[in-house]
Amino acid sequence: MKAFLALFSILIALAASGVAQTNSADPAITEFDVNGLKVIFKKRTSSPTISVGLYVRGGVRNATPETAGLENFTLQAAMEGSRNFPKATLRRELARTGSSIGGASGTDFGAMSVVSTKENFPEMWRMFTDLVLNPTFKKADIERIRTALLSGLADANSQPDNALSMLGAKVLNVGHPYAVPSEGTAETLAKFTPADLQAYHKQMLATSRLLLVAVGDYEPDTFKQMVTESFSKLDQGKYQEKPLAPIEFKQATLDISERAVPTNYVKGYFKAPNLADPDYYAMRVAISILQSRVYQIVRVQRNLSYAPNAEIDEDAANTGDIYVTAVDANEAVRLMLAIIEDMKNNLVERDEFEGLPGYFLTTYYLDQETDIAQVRSLANYELIGGGWRNSLKFIPSINAVTPEAVRAVCQKYMKNIRFVVVGDPKAIDRKIFLAEGEK
């Protein structure tokens, strides 16, 4: 463990363009370029699997209200069958080898992925790359996916927690690129044709728009040769990612969606630093402390809710939130806001603070157990976190956080909280929910 952690302190060597180079920040990671396609490969010795993600930059920044959900639809449909591997063949080989292939798109990027054992990887790579390059977009597959996507939207709205998140997204993102839902709407999903998906797929396959990340027990030079053979003929294109403004938190707000439910569902959003921001690590620690205090006071001491919570997302335009579902939502929220106010005014006691590095160290390595989890981490940092090398700084940056830094980020970000509620409007005291914004 000490030897591994020591790697974080080694200086970073830059990779020469187009040539595979081992990066001295982590000798296991190799970075190279194939005709404008950036590739990050991490050799993970003795891992039984190899995981690959081909990422599409931009997410909803590439969409309009009329094309909402098109990228997600396209990526899912592309993984259904290809010119050389029709659906029946693909399903049979995936079942035989225990491999998985999939595609989807979210707020900041989309991805197509494959996970395979080392012995089956050459075959799975051929299948995966053929799906990426030569999807058939058969009408029957498209209609089946359309039905599933529409059903998912309807089901999400029927669940209070999902309805709460959808309400939050609608309220927060007015005038922001995130206002375009990555999963689409019933109206947009109903109209997309096979030709629409084919056209989007064609424009998507420009190496300037793509990022390839792989983790597993494989030789870097061998993998580079495979990538070159598969993707060197793609057009580079001239993709430029659009700038992304932060989400506005100018004043506290409260929006309620009336619904007959046993308890009121509440989420309060506040601005948060993203992975590329130096404040991110202090905010991660602050959220952990807030989460612990909310649980102890709202659930354990007062028994007002089964699962009160505090979280931070990992979006480019990032937010944090507090969450509770309770019959007496007013008292639960009052207590949660009091906890935040205390964290803004007072330093965290040392006995509460000292155990946090060990907590983050444990959860960090648990989160990094699988190859695909490491693929996602490297991609997240590369696409929205200022570069994959920043992922190597997580533990040192967490360990460097001080109680003073925690108080500072609470003061800076945990204000003008924007609440959304699914439940009974008559049971909500607006003065409590908006009290923080009225100071």
Residue range 83-132, pLDDT digits in tens: 999 999 999 999 999 999 999 999 999 999 999 999 999 999 999 999 99
Q: What is the pLDDT of residue 6?
A: 32
Residue carrying structure tokens 């424009």:
203
Asked whether the predicted pLDDT for residue 20 surpasses 60, the reply is no
Closest C-alpha to 352, from 344, 361, 343, 363? 343
Is CATH 1.10.10.410 the classification given to domain 253-438?
no
3-state secondary structure of 19: coil
323, exposed or middle or buried, with CB in 10 Å at 0-12, 13-18, 19+? buried
- Give the list of residues 6+ apart from residue 147 with CB closer than 8 angstroms, or none: none
User: What percent of the chain stands above pLDDT 70?
Assistant: 93
Q: What is the pLDDT of residue 23?
A: 47
Q: What is the pLDDT of residue 366?
A: 82
Asked whether the predicted pLDDT for residue 363 surpasses 90, the reply is no
Supply the pTM of this predicted model. Answer: 0.90
Is CATH 3.30.750.24 the classification given to domain 12-231?
no
State the Cα–Cα distance between residues 254 and 333, nearest whole angstrom.
12
**Digit-coded pLDDT (tens) for 61-77:** 999 999 999 999 999 99
Q: Provide the pairing of β-strand 29-34 with 21-22.
A: antiparallel
Asked whether the predicted pLDDT for residue 247 surpasses 90, the reply is yes
Q: For the chain, how big is the Rg over CA atoms in Å? A: 23
State the Cα–Cα distance between residues 76 and 135, nearest whole angstrom.
11
Q: What is the pLDDT of residue 242?
A: 86
Q: What is the pLDDT of residue 355?
A: 80
Q: Of 9-13, 26-30, 110-114, which range is least confident?
A: 9-13
Mean pLDDT taken over the chain: 91
Contact 62, 109 (CB under 8 A): no
Residue 436 binned pLDDT confidence (cut-offs 50, 70, 90): low
Residue spans of the domains in the chain: they are 12-231, 253-438
Residue 359 binned pLDDT confidence (cut-offs 50, 70, 90): confident
Contact 127, 112 (CB under 8 A): no
- Phi, psi (rounded to 5 degrees) for 383: -85, -35
Residue 46 binned pLDDT confidence (cut-offs 50, 70, 90): confident
**Mean pLDDT value across residues 353-367:** 81
- Tokens, residue 328: 């007496």
Q: Of 15-24, 42-51, 189-198, 235-244, which range is least confident?
A: 15-24
**Digit-coded pLDDT (tens) for 366-409:** 888 899 999 999 999 999 999 999 999 999 999 999 999 999 99
176, exposed or middle or buried, with CB in 10 Å at 0-12, 13-18, 19+? middle
Q: What is the pLDDT of residue 21?
A: 41
- Give the list of residues 6+ apart from residue 254 with CB closer than 8 angstroms, or none: 418, 419, 420, 421, 428, 430, 433, 434
Alpha-helical runs (H) found in 81-219: 87-97, 121-133, 139-158, 160-172, 186-191, 194-204
**Mean pLDDT value across residues 31-46:** 96
35, exposed or middle or buried, with CB in 10 Å at 0-12, 13-18, 19+? middle
Question: Comparing 12-231 with 253-438, is the CATH topology the same?
Answer: yes
